[in-house]
């Protein structure tokens, strides 16, 4: 067993083709899966390995957790919770702890993650490394704002404590840093207090983009959480028609009598999964148009609905493997954010482009973002963000995605590195003005380029390998 094998040989590994969650990109990697801290250190320090990158639950759509012909260190078994302080809500846990586990353990005690992406199947380390945002970004900022400190195992084998006051450079390079500064072995995160496991939700339809933007700007401050599902196939006068879904954590008095007795006990739904890939023709412009139409029609305005937290935050988690809807070739996601001055114009052009292309996208989300945080490569900035899913149709999709990226760049927008598969180094550098600073810190902390990923090479965050 590992304990006895460890001394004189390579740590156990698996040569494996790893994929992104959306089944679009893949890479052959040397995969490691430490269950002890010392094993992790041995892998990071192993001289036979040319470079490594961490992988959480692999829920990123980009190749940030892949490392072609290099090492990938799975974090999922370094998932121990280390301490919890009830009075402050501060949880210290290892980087491999899943967000869903945090909810399962702490919601019954009245706590909820400060920020959550649209799936509970992410790790804390992975979420920090992409500085993820949730529906509450306009109010609470991204996850990085709620991380009090973290321990970082660096290329030199040292573990450094980082926080906004201690090693702040390294801290803000690590928040959103795509795993390139080292391994986040543990982090302290402040959970928020909630009184119930339910959400009080308002649903408002907007017949077009302007109506949606207006409603956002007029009433968003009433809601901790806000987003809109947007019909990306609607054109003409209905361009950008949306269903705004906004809400707050419900208070006990909001609940119907039946739930009041155990306000924090929300039973998790069982997850059916798609047992196989749908043929790729199943999702086409017509079927998506029909879906979108019925979605829009079946969501009449409603105020104050009480729904369980998981159907509000994680509607997609209700079906395991839903990426199989898109067939074997998978799908891609485009997500960009635009500064408020230009966002209307940019969104219109984008939506026109998408609607014209008739590319199926039944998952399109629009949301207002608050001010940017301090993460050097963090995605969020003040403005509007739009996310669209599109089936992978091969070469022509790549051409189309590059067009969208150019469009984003032309409007001063920024593409989310957790989702991107097409960005060039030049575009990344113009979208992320603090990228040069990031590279400097990276050179200082990891001069040999020990931590590297397929994505980091693709967009020039690290040097490409010598042949």
Ligand X SMILES: NC(=O)c1ccc[n+]([C@@H]2O[C@H](COP(=O)([O-])OP(=O)(O)OC[C@H]3O[C@@H](n4cnc5c(N)ncnc54)[C@H](OP(=O)(O)O)[C@@H]3O)[C@@H](O)[C@H]2O)c1
Residues that bind another protein (CB under 8 A): 1-4, 12-14, 33, 35-38, 77, 80-84, 91, 93, 101, 105
Q: Indicate the DSSP class of residue 370.
A: -
- Our CB check for ligand FAD shows the closer of 117 and 240 to be 117
Quick one: CA torsion of 424, 427, 433, 436, rounded to 10 degrees? 40
Rounded-to-integer distance, Cα 326 and Cα 322, Å: 8
Q: Give the binding range for ligand FAD (CB under 6 A) out of 39-47, 115-123, 161-169, 338-346.
A: 115-123
Task: Single out the segment in contact with ligand FAD by CB under 6 A; choices: 122-130, 236-244, 258-266, 405-413.
Answer: 122-130
SS3 of residue 313 by DSSP? helix
Residue 22 Cβ vs ligand FAD, minimum distance, rounded to whole Å? 7
- Residue 2-41 contact track with ligand X, rule CB under 6 A, x = bound: -x--------------------------------------
When CB distances are held under 5 to 8 angstroms depending on the partner's kind, the choice from another protein, ligand X, ligand FAD, none that residue 33 binds is another protein
| Cβ closest to ligand FAD, residue 53 vs residue 427 | 53
Separation CA 120–CA 403 (nearest Å):
32
**Distance in Å, CB of 323 to ligand FAD, minimum:** 8
At its nearest, how many Å lie between ligand FAD and the CB of residue 253?
29
| Residue 308 in contact with ligand FAD, rule: CB under 6 A | no
Strands lying side by side in the sheet with 242-249: 302-308, 198-206, 242-249, 225-230, 364-369, 383-391, 331-338, 414-415
User: Angle, to 10 degrees, between the axis of helix 209-219 and the axis of helix 340-357?
Assistant: 150
Nearest to 46 by CA among 17, 98, 8: 8
Tell me if 225 sits within 8 A of 112, measured CB to CB.
no
> First vs last Cα of the chain: how many Å apart?
35
* Token pair in block for residue 76: 């999922």
For residue 124, the minimal CB distance to another protein (Å) is 13
For residue 443, the minimal CB distance to ligand X (Å) is 38
The residues of the shown chain that bind ligand FAD, judged by CB under 6 A, are 21, 53-60, 64-65, 75, 95, 117-119, 122-123, 125-127, 129-130, 132-134, 178-179, 183-184, 316, 418
């Amino acid at each position: 067993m590992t304990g006895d094998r460890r001394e004189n040989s390579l740590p156990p590994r698996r040569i494996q083709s790893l994929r992104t969650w959306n089944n679009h990109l893949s890479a052959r990697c040397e995969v490691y899966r430490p269950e002890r801290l010392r094993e992790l250190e041995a892998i990071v320090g192993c001289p036979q390995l040319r470079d490594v990158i961490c992988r959480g639950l692999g829920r990123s759509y980009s190749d940030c957790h892949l490392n072609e012909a290099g090492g990938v260190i799975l974090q999922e078994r370094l998932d121990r919770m280390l301490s919890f302080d009830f009075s402050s809500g501060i949880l210290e846990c290892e980087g491999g702890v899943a967000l869903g586990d945090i909810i399962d353990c702490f919601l019954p005690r009245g706590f909820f993650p400060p920020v959550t992406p649209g799936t509970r199947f992410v790790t804390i380390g992975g979420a920090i490394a992409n500085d993820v945002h949730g529906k509450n970004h306009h109010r609470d900022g991204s996850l990085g704002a709620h991380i009090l400190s973290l321990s970082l195992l660096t290329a030199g084998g040292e573990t450094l404590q980082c926080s906004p006051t201690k090693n702040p450079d390294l801290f803000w390079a690590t928040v959103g840093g795509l795993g390139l500064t080292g391994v986040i072995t543990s982090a302290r995160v402040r959970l928020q207090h909630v009184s119930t496991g339910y959400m009080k939700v308002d649903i408002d339809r907007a017949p077009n983009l302007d109506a949606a933007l207006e409603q956002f700007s007029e009433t968003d401050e009433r809601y901790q959480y806000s987003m809109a599902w947007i019909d990306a196939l609607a054109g003409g006068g209905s361009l950008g028609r949306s269903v705004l879904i906004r809400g707050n954590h419900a208070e006990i008095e909001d609940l119907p009598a039946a739930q009041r007795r155990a306000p924090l006990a929300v039973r998790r739904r069982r997850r059916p999964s798609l047992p196989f890939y749908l043929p790729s023709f199943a999702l086409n412009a017509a079927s998506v148009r029909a879906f979108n139409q019925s979605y829009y029609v079946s969501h009449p305005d409603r105020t104050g609905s009480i729904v369980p937290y998981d159907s509000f935050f994680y509607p997609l988690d209700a079906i395991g493997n839903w990426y199989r809807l898109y067939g074997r070739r998978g799908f891609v996601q485009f997500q960009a954010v635009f500064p408020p001055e230009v966002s209307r114009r940019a969104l219109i052009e984008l939506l026109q482009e998408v609607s014209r292309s008739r590319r199926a996208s039944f998952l399109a989300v629009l949301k207002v973002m608050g001010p940017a945080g301090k993460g050097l490569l963090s995605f969020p900035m003040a403005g509007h963000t739009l996310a669209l899913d599109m089936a992978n149709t091969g070469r022509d999709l790549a051409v189309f995605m590059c067009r969208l990226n150019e469009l984003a760049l032309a409007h001063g927008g920024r593409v989310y590195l957790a989702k991107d598969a097409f960005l060039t180094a030049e575009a990344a550098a113009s979208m992320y003005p603090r990228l040069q600073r990031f590279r400097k810190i990276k050179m200082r902390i990891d001069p040999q380029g020990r931590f590297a990923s397929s994505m980091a090479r693709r967009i020039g965050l690290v040097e490409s390998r010598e042949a």
